[in-house]
Structure 1
């Protein structure tokens, strides 16, 4: 069997999550590494942070594949007295490449929102914002197999997601009946006014800010609208990792893929 290289991983990743389908503001693809480097071990994580970089290096991984790009926003130095510079230096010295699949991995079938919809039990789910492929796009909206109260639905979400300090926060009547669910993996308050979100019984996303959430809840009292469920950004997107690892392993036999054991939700405790 031919030994695989980083170029093979990039080729397969491109077939699953084409760089050209990423949002225009996104920064996906190879951050550091060389195509002819041998490919034996790949660690998948949501974030490139000190803990996941150290985990990759301790395991002697050849690639750290993350969902969130390390260099999403512009930097003007990679000096090692900066956090990102220190991480890049460690990866380069450890001969570990860094590859990111972000919004290009959010939209497709089997992507972040698709996996979240499946885990929550949605049927006939479709994108909130379809792309050129109507089965792909941002977010999902669909029906539960059976109606639940808002409290029971929130408990289902809590059972599906890995635990975090912030838990699952809910805005709405706990006894409200939930049948139609809209969701967006990652930060999705920009879709609070979307017609498919307004037509759902509940909207599930992350990083809901005070004013948009409050305005949505107040408006629902006047003209109807969804209950809100705010979940950990990291927890929601972590569900995608194992499926991605399994798909990559099928296409690259002989390469070992592992999902990081590190929880990179930034909050460590609550008082």
Structure 2
């Protein structure tokens, strides 16, 4: 069994609120997380039809990408769609949690899912917005407990360097301490100096995972008071942000790439800007409305930007910059539904969280139809 707070804690382990842009109305928007949650629905949008689906499926918590309450509501009545959404959720005890730009920025979030759907390789961040500062964690552990603490650090995400995990350095020395009269020591007696063979474990953590790593370290450590240091490193910190840029396996004509986008996102129709015969390989993707990032994509050397809601005059700007644009619509962000379910399933398995069912919303929230 799990409560709502536990579930959101696991969600925020990969899409923390600190990633969100200023003013973005993320987080709990309706209801409470202080309750048992057995069934979770993941959706792109929270429309009234999605709430009806949630009621039918006896959902306890909705996790959405687009916040249902984006600006303040003057009133909550059944005379507006927003009011009916709030009323139905409260009446049926359905909590609604929104993760918008933080899910765009997150590793494995919307933009990574879009890049994966298109088969891009060697991807990097298009528009950095968050520097994931690197720290060295040093902890001193009695020799008998060194292995269990080292394993706990690795499981919590410490020691990731490039394509390697569980990177640590161990050295052995003598630790000294004197328990006071109020102490309850693992080794030694109050008032007597104790010397113990200890292992110094050094590893790497980041701004993003340091809290969960330190929590896991303390839980695995046998000492009443854990001696450790957290030292900021001057090495280049990995950046996170909006959009991704990467490569197709081989260059193809723009028209063929546009067809690839249409198939990858299962859209009925799309628009594209540029010479259909131009060969393209370096691709930028940005979920949602990417009009502000046309110049960013062009200056990053992209042949094509895949994004939604392209404005007429911005299309002209892209042409002037020599950048092709493929617009499959805003709704392709719906790739996040299965993506979030997969990420949560993985974390529930690691944390041994049982009894929670995850559902991908089947309600179509795309407002557009095509002739």
Instruction: Please give the TM-score of this superposition, normalised by the length of structure 1.
Output: 0.91
1:231 matches 2:319: no
Query: Which structure has the greater CA radius of gyration?
Result: 2
1:175 matches 2:173: no
For the residue of structure 1 that corresponds to 2:13, the secondary structure is: helix
Q: Once superposed, what is the RMSD of the aligned Cα atoms?
A: 1.5
Q: Please, which of 339, 345, 350 is the counterpart of residue 243 of structure 1?
A: 339
1:265 matches 2:342: no
* 1:125-174 alpha-carbon deviations (Å, 9 max, x no partner): 1111222133521101111111111111111111111334xx22111111
Unaligned residue ranges in structure 1 (runs of 5+):
none
Distance in 2 (alpha carbons) for counterparts of 1:105 and 1:92: 25
Q: Please, which of 77, 82, 87 is the counterpart of residue 85 of structure 2?
A: 87
Shift of 1:75: 2.2
Whichever structure has more strand as a proportion of its residues is: 2
Indicate how the Cα distance of structure 1 residues 195 and 249 shifts in structure 2: closer, same or farther if over 3 A, else same: closer
Contact persistence 1:197–1:226 (CA under 8 A): no
Residue number in structure 2 paired with 1:203: 305
What aligned pairs does 1:84-233 form with structure 2 within 5 A after superposition? Answer: 84-130=82-128, 131-133=130-132, 134-164=238-268, 167-194=269-296, 196=298, 199-217=301-319, 219-220=320-321, 225-233=322-330
Instruction: Please give the TM-score of this superposition, normalised by the length of structure 2.
Output: 0.67
Indicate how the Cα distance of structure 1 residues 11 and 120 shifts in structure 2: closer, same or farther if over 3 A, else same: same
Distance in 1 (alpha carbons) for counterparts of 2:261 and 2:40: 29
Distance in 2 (alpha carbons) for counterparts of 1:98 and 1:265: 20
Contact persistence 2:298–2:323 (CA under 8 A): no
Contact persistence 1:78–1:84 (CA under 8 A): yes
Q: Please, which of 25, 35, 38 is the counterpart of residue 36 of structure 2?
A: 38
* 1:193-222 alpha-carbon deviations (Å, 9 max, x no partner): 1165562111110001111112322x13xx
Distance in 1 (alpha carbons) for counterparts of 2:324 and 2:80: 41
1:65 matches 2:63: yes
